[in-house]
Amino acid sequence: MPILSSSLTLIVVVTCLMLANWQHNRAQDKQTRLDNISALQAKGTIRWSDLQFLPNGLNKTGIKMQLSGHLLSDQYWLLDNRVFKQQVGFDVLAVFYPAQSNKAMIVNLGWVKAPQSRAHKAIVNLPTQKITLQVQLKQGDLAGFYLQKQVANNAPWPKRIQYIDLTIMQQESATELIDFIAYSSRAQFSLQPHYKPVVMPPEKHLAYALQWLLLAIAALVVFIFAVKPFTKNRIRLGDQLE
């Protein structure tokens, strides 16, 4: 019995400590990301032409930018299962051509409420004239967590998607896209921006790390108190045999 209980306790304690360390590392990563974003945003709002003066290899997540240019108003994607104020809807993503640029980029224009029936798509009237957007950039992991692999489809516009995949969006729009996207920070075209660069703050990860650490300590304490009577009985039995 002690061997089995010792093994199970060891497994539980080690697992909890590993999870605590993982959450602690996540907290450090999130804090580093927030520090980088704060440093970039301290520079203020930049323009498209200022990108060329940024250091090579710099992750552009968090940069605030003012964009002027044109949207492909007849081609946009509906990013599915987006929740805003406890309502289910879509994020509207469209191809945007910055002025004086030979490449395009994807802009998340904001959230729109989903129709009552899944058979219908949300229809958004996007402008055809030149517009100016206030945005925040994101680069790196754009897809996030997903269960099913997405493939390009020939469905009519707007196209419903489950996550952001620039390679597929480039194929579907037949447009060369840069490797980062922009999130609108100002409500326009009856769409509601709701982007947050970091969803779960570092403090929450630290709280989870502490929780797992306390569980490891609790498991160890319970084991010690559980085997103490058994150990005493072993000692008494040994004394009697002598």
pLDDT tens-place string over residues 219-231: 888 877 776 665 5
Could you state, in order of their start, the residue ranges of all structural domains in the chain? 2-33+206-241, 63-184
pLDDT tens string 38-81: 766 666 777 887 777 777 777 788 888 888 999 998 899 999 98
Q: What is the pLDDT of residue 96?
A: 94
| This prediction's pTM | 0.68
> pLDDT digits over 181-193, tens only?
999 988 888 899 9
Say how far apart CA 40 and CA 63 lie, in whole Å: 6
Highest mean pLDDT among 9-13, 23-27, 132-136: 132-136
pLDDT in tens, 137-178: 888 777 665 556 666 677 889 999 988 899 999 999 988 898
* Angle (deg, nearest 10), helices 2-41 and 202-241: 160
Strands 104-113 and 87-98: antiparallel
Asked whether the beta carbons of 157 and 196 are under 8 A apart, the reply is no
